[in-house]
Every structure is written in C-alpha cells, then in structure tokens.
Amino acid sequence: MDISLPQKDFLALTDFTREQLTALLDLADDMKRAPAEYRTALTGKSLGMIFHKQSTRTRISFEVGMYQLGGAALFFSPSDMHLSRGESISDTGKVLSRYLDAIMIRTFAYEEIVELAQHATIPIINGLTDYNHPCQALADMMTLREHFGTLAGRKLTYIGDGNNMAVSLLFACIRMGMHISIASPPNYTITPKAMEWILDDAEKNNLEICLTDNIEEAASGADVVYTDVWASMGQEEERKTRLHDLADYTVDDMVMSFAKPDAVFMHCLPAHRGEEVSASVIDGPRSIVFDQAENRLHLQKAILYGLIQ
C-alpha cells in the first residue's frame, strides 16, 4: 500500500483532512496485518529521537517501528546534545537535517516543535508536547475502528484534566466524525484557543462538542470513556492540589454505567489505579488500553512511511 503525506511534518491532527487521516489509518491496518511486506520500506533511512520528557511507549514504538521498516533510530536526551548548553532550536534543526531523514521530538512547549519544523528541511514528528499528543490520539482512532468497525457518529467521553490528551482527542474525534464530551472541573477545562481550531469542522458536520463539569451528563450514551493521569510530567509540584481538585472525577464502575452497555474504556497510560481510574475498570473486560498501546507501533510506522519513504 503506497501513501505519501501531503505535509512535510506531523505536528497536529488539525493539519490533515479526514481523508488523509483515514489513509494513514488504512496504512497502519495494512502494516499490522502484513508486516513482512514493509520490512525493507525504509532501508538506509534514519530517525533522530529527541526526548525532553521520559517515555515508554513513544520511544519503544518509534525505535522498534524504524527497525521493523528496515531503518535505524537514534535516541538523544537533552544531555546528549548542545540544546542543553544553549544551542538554538533553529541551528539544531539545520544541522540534524544534514544527517537524518526525520526527527521525532517529545518535549514541553509546542512552539519548540513548530520552530524546529520551520528550520529543518526534513520531516518533524510531534511525539508529545504539553499542548497536544497527535500520535496517541490517532492510534486511539485506529483502536476504535478495530473495535467498532466505524467511527462516524460514535461518542467519546473524556473525563478529567483538560490536558494535551483531551485536546488531541477533541481534534481526532471531530476530524473523524465523532461526537465528544469532556467533563472537567471548571479550572481544568481545555483552553478556548484549542476549541477555535475545530469548531468550524464540528458545525459543518453536525457534530456535538460538550464541555461540562457533570460526569453523568458527559458519559451518558458514550461509546468510549477515556481518562488520563491527573498530574502529567512537569506538574509534579501541583500533584497534591490536582489530586484534591480532581478527586470526584475518577472513572469507576458507576461512571461506566452511564455509558452504553457495550462502551469501552481507554487510557493512554501510564495509569494510576485508585486515582483517575479504578482497578475494576482498567483491568476489567471493557478495557482496551493494551490494544491502544500496541497500536502506537503500527500507527507510527505508518506515519514514518508516509513522511520519509
């Protein structure tokens, strides 16, 4: 299956149309079904991976993905590069463009990735920022297609902090024709700026976006219930406050009862049982969290292939 992404970079899901994202999902499905057909697809190609945040799934899935496609992946922590000593993002991008075929970066500020993409001449992939997490959200769409067959008209409910995961799920759902409701305490809802990116799409396609602090309202009739940790990397000093403020937003069996009888539970991991989700839910029969984790590999192989084949 042949596909080339029209954009040079993979920074945000709002940069792509539904048709383009669907083509990526189709490719990821094909790679999962017939991995042997792609073993030499990126032979001789190299991916640089810059990590300013710790990682399990992102690092391993990209590294293994490049290996399975015949290429090589190089890991860089801040201390491995002169970025930690003040070298500019622009100079780094220009230099690495002379050595590599693509860069995946996992960092804090989204603006850093945008700046890197502006100065690099090779594709830049957003492995996560404090603003968004497009690779995870699109892998989630792949997982839901596998489970339900279709996405259009389904409803996803996100419960908890309106963080980077909530923003990317909002983008993914509206792009793929899904309704979305987000239940958060008033001070933890997603930013109005994030809403601006997608409101026109929602209106044109008669899709519902519900932002509320009422969990039952949000989860009623949901096909999917999703949550994430309450204190992400970089928010450790806020952890005690966040655990207090979000204490009523645990996804437990009662919350799942508000959703449809065949609704599934999702979490991007790592998870803290007893905080944002009960053990009975994440370890129960409705949980598909490990399918999500696996599909990071297949989806990211599709992104790599689409950008640097």
The residues, ordered by sequence, that sit 6+ positions from 249 with a Cβ below 8 Å of its Cβ are 159, 160, 183, 184, 185, 215, 227, 230, 276
* CA dist., res. 290 & res. 248, Å (int): 25
Amino acid at 161: D
Q: pLDDT band for 279, please (50, 70, 90 cuts).
A: very high
* CA dist., res. 219 & res. 281, Å (int): 15
**Contact at 8 Å (CB) between 232 and 53?**
no
Mean pLDDT (whole number) for 143-168: 97
Q: Hey, how many other C-beta atoms are within 10 angstroms of the C-beta on 250? A: 20
Residue 67: pLDDT over 80: yes
Residue 68 appears among annotated catalytic residues: no
Question: Tokens at residue 197, please?
Answer: 């990116």
Q: pLDDT band for 84, please (50, 70, 90 cuts).
A: low
| pLDDT, position 126 | 98
* CA dist., res. 176 & res. 17, Å (int): 9
Element (H, E) at 48: strand 46-51
Q: Of 172, 142, 135, which is closest to residue 49 (Cα–Cα)?
A: 135
Residue 235 appears among annotated catalytic residues: no
| pLDDT, position 151 | 98
**Contact at 8 Å (CB) between 34 and 269?**
no
| pLDDT, position 233 | 65
* CA dist., res. 281 & res. 81, Å (int): 42
Residue 106 appears among annotated catalytic residues: yes
Among candidate residues 52, 133, 179, 298, the one labeled active-site is 133
| pLDDT, position 234 | 66
Among candidate residues 106, 154, 179, 267, the one labeled active-site is 106
* CA dist., res. 267 & res. 265, Å (int): 7
Q: Of 165, 101, 142, which is closest to residue 296 (Cα–Cα)?
A: 142
β-bridge partners, 266? 226
Residue 136 appears among annotated catalytic residues: yes
What's the chain's length in residues?
309
| pLDDT, position 76 | 93
Among candidate residues 68, 145, 175, 268, the one labeled active-site is 268
Q: 46-55, 81-90, 156-165 — which is least confidently predicted?
A: 81-90
Amino acid at 119: H
* CA dist., res. 27 & res. 137, Å (int): 16
Q: 4-13, 44-53, 102-111 — which is least confidently predicted?
A: 4-13
| pLDDT, position 238 | 85
**Average pLDDT of every residue of the chain:** 95
Among candidate residues 136, 140, 223, 300, the one labeled active-site is 136
Residue 77: pLDDT over 80: yes
Q: What are phi and psi of 145, to 5 degrees?
A: -60, -40
Binding residues: 55-58, 106, 133-136, 164, 228, 232-233, 268-269, 296
Q: pLDDT band for 40, please (50, 70, 90 cuts).
A: very high
Q: What are phi and psi of 88, to 5 degrees?
A: -70, 155
